[in-house]
Structure 1
């Protein structure tokens, strides 16, 4: 079965929705325009319930099928953009300076809307489909926010599914990794409080910039000299800020970054060693170093049986040979993992043309993938909530 023909017929409409969302990106918890468009479309298509303002800007739509079944299946898409200045040159490029859909969440939202329109017209399923449009996936805790506001208490589901675009240059393909599919992540902020001085008299200082620079190198030994070679961990210092003048030795310096992991014992080791290294450096240099570590993403765990369901739905659309069962884990993170901590489900990737990486100012989502993703979402509902013959 290729793309559902009813969804293929709406491809021009999906493209128009996508281009509008792309031209008007909104950062996490600020997706007011996007949420209003989503809620308006769901109401126009006759959804049974539409709930707005879940975790500020989240939207949940409830659609009941033709049968009287009591099973409930959730589908989720993210809506937020990134603080990146777009450099694609597209006619529908971002009109918001410094903000861009560089990860394809505008595409994910459009795909789920495509499935919503089709399923609202056909209602060819037995049970309830729950459509979750989530804000603030990009490290701001949108999934946790929705869960904290009772997402699965107010709108219970038996299983939940999601997908992500993959700019791998292989349109017409999809892939899923079973088990631990995407890394968990902690973010860290480190502050070095030294002693400033005139730059011509550095002996009077405790140079926070020099100490911070040394600390960057020391932190890299956590992975290279503490982690078993066959385990996986990524520790990246991504920010360093210090100083304000040519002739001043700075008194403070700050570092920030992220740790990615797949096992709880690995993140526990990495965080323990980070604190120990910072404490040792503070003593060695006679300064104060504070460390703030916080978990931001859980490890994304795909349920074995529901991985089968995701793969089968994708194969309905793309063909058996086009869907890889057994993709490699990704060291990127995804807060759909937090939903999967509560409700079993699965999350896969759908390939498309173009190889500019995600989170790049030149990233372009191939619009041909929109009806593909919409069809996979729709087939998940039809397969998991089949109408009795």
Structure 2
């Protein structure tokens, strides 16, 4: 493994930054403290421009090389935490109840700051590097908010790169491959409005619980009986809420969940069938059912040329044996996909050999990953802007 020496020399500083961010997590569009720390750091590193409030709480830093005019490479990290409690008992655990960096975005932000510190001190490249610190990745549309705020019109990029930690990989392993890498996603809410009654007199009701169970089972046939088997899709119901007493049949129920897909036409098919089946169940039980479906994530599609560039940078940092190029698409989603629809680029995963999965209250990020990720981000920018 060849971590950039300068980055290795201040790895302890990166750990301190990451642990501070971890102790003070902020969820999407509330990253005021985090954004302030990022902006202050970029200013201290001597960045040419630092812009705040992009897409809400996003930060963009502009760094120009000493080699003169050239292309522009974008580097992106997400900043938000998850709305959940932390159960790790770490000395630097979350001090904000119901807020936890259970996906390692504190690490991603720190890695990009590490790359920024190194590149600002060296500036040995031709062109410009745009550092994008994005808010609200966890399903709230932070990438779309930045794009709607004219991110790429104000700060044009020829390519853009992003990374994510992965506890399923060994420390220092990097997985990167071209094409569809992460699924698109929609979220849905279903509200059933029926008729309540005494639990001892169900004949007087239109039972919202029975209706919700029938609907939930029917929705599970969409993928198995409508979607071509060679085009993966998932429909998961993740919430069911109804009732408040032992002797009351409720008149309302709420279902919620997610749809995942790798082909846009499959996503549209599943959404259409969800609406049609829901309407049929409402007619069958003579009740009202309202459906709200929101398209949250696009399919993340890695550009082949950019993927090869990121692979070469990864080989330079972790060695050829540590780079996995076999396609490993995941049904998880990432809103960096929306940036890749606007600008060619690539996304990879960097391992840290954790034992607890992402989004688990006991998730712990290994700080040893920080100089690795920082070196990878810095190296791909330097290689793409070599004078």
Structure 1 length-normalised TM: 0.98
1:351 aligns with 2:326: no
Q: Aligned residue for 1:309?
A: 309
Contact 1:169/1:355 (CA < 8 Å) preserved in 2? no
Q: CA deviation at 1:305?
A: 0.5
The residue matched to 2:82 in structure 1 has which SS?
coil
Select between 112-121 and 164-173 the one with higher mean Cα deviation: 164-173
Contact 2:169/2:350 (CA < 8 Å) preserved in 1? no
Contact 1:39/1:52 (CA < 8 Å) preserved in 2? yes
1:203 aligns with 2:203: yes
Q: Aligned residue for 2:266?
A: 266
Q: CA deviation at 1:330?
A: 0.7
Select between 253-262 and 206-215 the one with higher mean Cα deviation: 206-215
Q: Distance in 2 between matches of 1:260 and 1:355?
A: 26
Q: Aligned residue for 2:375?
A: 375
Contact 2:71/2:127 (CA < 8 Å) preserved in 1? yes
Deviations 1:59-101 (A, max 9, x none): 0000000111231110000000001110111111101111100
Select between 159-168 and 241-250 the one with higher mean Cα deviation: 241-250
Q: Aligned residue for 1:360?
A: 360
Q: Aligned residue for 2:76?
A: 76
Q: Distance in 1 between matches of 2:288 and 2:241?
A: 16
The residue matched to 1:131 in structure 2 has which SS?
strand
The residue matched to 2:161 in structure 1 has which SS?
strand
Equivalent positions of 1:323-342 (< 5 A) are 323-342=323-342
Q: Aligned residue for 1:10?
A: 10
Q: Distance in 1 between matches of 2:143 and 2:293?
A: 20
Q: CA deviation at 1:245?
A: 2.3
Q: CA deviation at 1:230?
A: 1.9
Q: Distance in 2 between matches of 1:228 and 1:62?
A: 46
Q: Aligned residue for 1:132?
A: 132
Q: CA deviation at 1:355?
A: 2.4
Q: Distance in 2 between matches of 1:199 and 1:232?
A: 42
Q: Distance in 1 between matches of 2:234 and 2:262?
A: 10
Q: Distance in 2 between matches of 1:169 and 1:372?
A: 13
Q: Aligned residue for 2:86?
A: 86
Contact 1:74/1:130 (CA < 8 Å) preserved in 2? yes
Structure 2 segments unaligned to the other structure (5+ residues): none
Q: Aligned residue for 2:221?
A: 221
Q: CA deviation at 1:177?
A: 2.6
Q: Aligned residue for 1:295?
A: 295
Q: Distance in 1 between matches of 2:325 and 2:354?
A: 22
Q: Distance in 2 between matches of 1:58 and 1:169?
A: 29
Contact 1:178/1:326 (CA < 8 Å) preserved in 2? no
Deviations 1:120-164 (A, max 9, x none): 000011100000000000000000000000100111110100000
1:284 aligns with 2:310: no
Q: Aligned residue for 2:236?
A: 236
Q: Distance in 2 between matches of 1:332 and 1:261?
A: 10
Q: Aligned residue for 1:49?
A: 49
Select between 199-208 and 113-122 the one with higher mean Cα deviation: 199-208
The residue matched to 1:275 in structure 2 has which SS?
helix
Contact 2:70/2:385 (CA < 8 Å) preserved in 1? no
Q: Distance in 1 between matches of 2:240 and 2:177?
A: 35
Q: CA deviation at 1:169?
A: 4.8
Q: Distance in 2 between matches of 1:252 and 1:375?
A: 53
Q: Distance in 2 between matches of 1:316 and 1:6?
A: 15
Q: Distance in 2 between matches of 1:22 and 1:152?
A: 29
1:151 aligns with 2:147: no
Contact 1:143/1:336 (CA < 8 Å) preserved in 2? yes
The residue matched to 2:342 in structure 1 has which SS?
coil
Structure 2 length-normalised TM: 0.99
Q: Aligned residue for 1:22?
A: 22
Q: Aligned residue for 1:112?
A: 112
**Equivalent residue pairs, number:** 387
1:185 aligns with 2:172: no
Q: Distance in 2 between matches of 1:256 and 1:177?
A: 33
Q: Distance in 1 between matches of 2:70 and 2:352?
A: 36
Q: Aligned residue for 1:175?
A: 175
Deviations 1:207-238 (A, max 9, x none): 11110111111111111222222220011000
Q: Distance in 1 between matches of 2:70 and 2:319?
A: 30
Q: CA deviation at 1:310?
A: 0.6
Contact 2:85/2:361 (CA < 8 Å) preserved in 1? yes
